[in-house]
Amino acid sequence: MALPQEDPSLERHFKGHRDAVTCVDFSLNTKQLASGSMDSCLMVWHMKPQSRAYRFAGHKDAVTCVNFSPSGHLLASGSRDKTVRIWIPNVKGESTAFRAHTATVRSVHFCSDGQSFVTASDDKTVKVWSTHRQKFLFSLSQHINWVRCARFSPDGRLIVSASDDKTVKLWDKTSRECVHSYCEHGGFVTSVDFHPSGTCIAAAGMDNTVKVWDVRTHRLLQHYQLHSAAVNALSFHPSGNYLLTASSDSTLKILDLMEGRLLYTLHGHQGPATTVAFSRTGEYFASGGSDEQVMVWKSNFDVVDYGEVIKVHRPPAPLATSSGNLPEVDFPVPPGRGRSQESVQSQTQEPISMPQTLTSTLEHIVGQLDVLTQTVSILEQRLTLTEDKLKQCLETQQLIMQRTPP
């Protein structure tokens, strides 16, 4: 298969956090990059040079996770203060708090339609919430230790969660049942995500490993032990061909999933690398570390032209090389073990796409609804505060009148 033409290159350094960076995520159009930190702040960085970053203060303790909504009009964050906040990522930085967890919120992730989001917490539960109605919907409660990460499948039908009970659990969103538990990790499972095709999951662990399973057969497809310390985070390239990992050994690694081998080891952070995320197009990826730095890298992967994807404003459809039929490997791979590019390509179908104008219009409408819903909520909160103040004034006035002799 064709390898990346150039090595990944460090493009930007963002400095502004005052403690370890815990999480990063790109907006849909890659114009914004959000990061959270142990300093309790959320930063929204602008990829355009010389643009001032937004600093959002609202959480009362460390920010542990961030995720942009699919439209990019909303930004969700979770914190050690036990709350989730939904922000409008503009200069005002207004937000609404969601409360239901009884311990640190470790993970937040929007469904692909933006209508709901899923959270994971140290209270041992996974919770699903309605974005627009701004309410808690239901809990998934079979983990017996802290839940570090939860993610929706690309089609929104499944949820995967990773826990300190050393398991990865697959859930059916509709029935709310646990479909399968993957128990192969030898330590706490720190991060998990779906392959863009929705047919596989990858999980990272404190046992220094990364494992890939098929969610249809539940077979362990790939096992990598490349880092010399805990693997803290992972992210799939949108093509599905590459997996990016961040480790406490201070390195980032890029794995070629089709060939089942290590492509790159990147040294940039001083101390543990805590988080990584590809942009929605795969052109860039970001990393954060305990060194308080946020770094943006250019992938330089010569995989596909994502220009049309950006124009249409929808997640990339599974590509010819991301059918989900990954070669079964246990790294290092003996010669000839990886499946050929041709055999993978022959098994895929042409992705179905909506007309560009219709998709763009629908995306715009959903985005405006996001902002309107959030604005109404903020106005309701202000109205409640105003009513409370008026009541206090009236009560004070009545007391004064009672005390004043006629």
Residue 364 is predicted with a pLDDT of: 56
Would you say residue 175 lies in a domain?
yes
Instruction: Please tell me the predicted confidence (pLDDT) of residue 191.
Output: 97
Domain assignment present for residue 126? The answer is yes
Contacting residues for 386 by C-beta, under 8 A, at least 6 apart: none
- Which residues have CB under 8 Å from 253's CB, separation 6+? 226, 227, 244, 245, 247, 262, 264, 265, 266
pLDDT at 360: 52
Quick one: 290 and 367 in the same domain?
A: no
Q: Nearest 5 degrees, angle CA 87-CA 91-CA 93?
A: 25
- Check whether residue 277 and residue 374 sit in a common domain: no
Q: Which domain holds residue 381?
A: 359-405
Show pLDDT as tens, one digit a residue, over the chain (406 residues): 445 468 899 999 999 999 999 999 999 999 999 999 999 999 999 998 888 999 999 999 999 999 999 999 999 999 999 999 999 999 888 899 999 999 999 999 999 999 999 999 999 999 999 999 989 999 999 999 999 999 999 999 999 999 999 999 999 999 999 999 999 888 999 999 999 999 999 999 999 999 999 999 999 999 999 999 999 999 999 999 999 999 999 999 999 999 999 999 999 999 999 999 999 999 999 999 999 999 999 999 755 444 433 333 233 233 333 344 566 655 543 233 333 222 222 222 333 334 444 545 555 565 666 666 666 666 666 666 666 667 677 766 766 666 666 6
Instruction: Single out the residue in 245, 263, 298 at which a domain terminates.
Output: 298
Structural domain includes residue 251: yes
Asked whether residue 16 falls in the same domain as residue 163, the answer is yes
Both 250 and 365 in one domain: the answer is no
Pair (294, 363) in one structural domain: no
Q: Are residues 191 and 64 in the same domain?
A: yes
- The answer to the question of residue 188 being in a domain is yes
Last residue of a domain, one of 255, 279, 298: 298
User: Is the domain of 278 the same as that of 385?
Assistant: no
Say whether both 32 and 151 belong to one domain.
yes
pLDDT at 390: 72
343 inside domain: no
249 and 384 in a common domain = no
248 with 365, same domain? no
**Chain Cα centroid distance, residue 222:** 22
Residues 211 and 286 in one domain: yes
Q: Do 176 and 76 share a domain, yes or no? A: yes
* Overall number of domains in the chain: 2
| Per-residue pLDDT at 321 | 35
* Residue 317 located in a structural domain: no
In a domain, 96, yes or no: yes
Q: Per the structure block, which two tokens stand in for 371?
A: 């902002």
Q: Pull the structure tokens for residue 47.
A: 């990829």
Residue 328: per-residue pLDDT: 61
Q: Look at residue 312 in the predicted model and tell me its pLDDT.
A: 31
**pTM for this entry:** 0.78
345 in a domain, yes or no?
no
The enclosing domain of 194 has a CATH number of 2.130.10.10
